[in-house]
Amino acid sequence: MNEPFVVTVVVKYIGEAQVPTCKFPDLPNFTKKGFSRSITHSYVNGQNVSTCNISQNYSPQKIGTFKIPSFKVNVNELNLKSEGFSIKVSKAVLDKTNTEKKEVTSEDEDFTDFIEGNQSETVDAKNNAFLSLSTNKFTPFTGEGFTVTLAFYVADNNPTEFESYQNEAQIPEITKKLKPENCWEESFGLTEMQQGQLVLNGKPYTQYKYYQATFYPLNNKPIVFPSVSLKLIKYTIGKNGEKIPEFVTFKTKPFIIKTKDLPSHPLKQEVSVGDFSLKEVINKNSISTGKSVQYRIQITGDGYNIKLPEMKNDSLFDFFPPEVNSSSYPENGKVVSTKTFTFLIIPKQAGNFALGNYFKWIFFNTKTDKYDTLQSKLQLKVSGETIKTADTPLTVISVYDGLKEKDSSEIPNEFSKFLKDEANILISIMLIGMVYILLPNKKRK
């Protein structure tokens, strides 16, 4: 009962064009509540493509299962037909924001009661519409991600029609002001305005999300987010029923993120901060010395700067430089990063070895507020004879022993003697040849 049924028409066209007119029908057992229209622009293959979203909210009048007959929506004098269907309406669900601070029932977990306290004096309180700049954390640790969202909210019982105005110019200017200098940014990549439904303090709203990003503080200095404003077009109904457009400006209030310093630790300046998990796989659990085994380790979490320490060869294993693949994606109001390292390992001695002695990763766990370690749980069984290399202990005799101490600039004595003998033979042959050439000349004289 507290959720709207929404009918949306999406019109895409190339180049500049007038906003299409749209007339929605009345539907049985539902009441029209709230109308919205937005336009976004993008460039595809060098062409300006405009997308217009026109939505009509319908609020249920009572509980039950209702059959919606086939209906038509008139767009620019063209009737678009929708087939009939059924809708089940159940009792209203109370929202947790009424009892829990900074909580909201939404697929996005980045909304808080701060939204209500973040309205400026220019909020259209009468029509329940406001612009909000919100965050999911006000006191993160240095390096811990916090998500900032800029969105416009319109209550579903709001009869006023709002329309976007030059978002392609306004939004980039706003986001420039919002990006702090002492943070690493992971953007959610919103290229078009994103529309969704949610409940705030027990009241259904339509959310128009313009910008969302996760920031990671690089130091413990305070982060200031300034007030930003957005201009929209508001339509009022004149005496003769005509729509009268006027510009309205909505503003947000500034707020400060106070970053907490990490506890003392030798790796304090290097560790990632967040909630992480580890997955691993190996293609062989038993192998002979001298044969290669492929080992893959994957670290996933809501932090950034995922790096494994450099693996160094020793008397037991040779480690080849890993193949590294990384990705990041928005999920539940935060950015999740995944990094996969694929190693090629060659064992050199027989035995049972725990890979956890080599593959371990230290991070600061934001769930426990303590430093934590992820490490391998796999065992590798190796059989076969020991392979002697430069990394093998000195007690083992190897053809490579002392190789580094050899001076490659010195020429062996045997080679020097060989060169001298060859030179003497060559000189002797030349002398014999000269004698042979000169003797016939003397006889002719």
Q: Where exactly are the structural domains of the chain?
A: 1-93, 102-261, 272-383, 411-445
Phi, psi dihedrals of residue 435, rounded to the nearest 5°: -65, -40
Confidence (pLDDT) at 151: 93
Question: What is the C-alpha separation between 398 and 12, in angstroms, rounded?
Answer: 74
Confidence (pLDDT) at 38: 64
* Run of H or E residues at 71: strand 71-75
Question: What is the C-alpha separation between 16 and 153, in angstroms, rounded?
Answer: 27
The structure tokens listed for 352 are 């049972």
Spatial CB neighbours of 269, under 8 Å, sequence gap ≥ 6:
none
Q: What is the pLDDT along the chain (445 residues), one digit of tens a residue?
A: 877 788 888 888 787 656 778 888 999 999 887 666 666 655 556 667 777 778 787 888 899 999 999 999 998 889 999 999 999 999 876 444 333 333 332 333 333 333 333 333 344 444 589 999 999 999 999 999 999 999 999 988 887 888 888 888 899 899 999 999 899 998 887 767 787 788 888 888 888 899 999 999 999 999 999 999 999 998 888 788 788 889 999 999 899 999 999 999 999 999 999 999 999 999 999 999 999 999 999 999 999 889 998 899 999 999 999 999 888 888 888 889 899 999 999 999 999 999 999 999 999 999 999 999 999 999 999 999 988 765 554 444 343 444 444 554 554 455 566 666 777 777 777 777 777 777 655 444 4
Confidence (pLDDT) at 321: 92
Question: What is the C-alpha separation between 120 and 302, in angstroms, rounded?
Answer: 32
* Nearest one of 336, 33, 27 to 156, comparing CA atoms: 33
Question: What is the C-alpha separation between 416 and 327, in angstroms, rounded?
Answer: 60
The structure tokens listed for 91 are 């009792």
Amino acid at 115: I
Distances (CA, A) of 102 to 136, 137, 138, 223: 8, 10, 11, 20
* Nearest one of 214, 225, 123, 230 to 169, comparing CA atoms: 230
Name the CATH topology of 272-383.
Immunoglobulin-like (2.60.40)
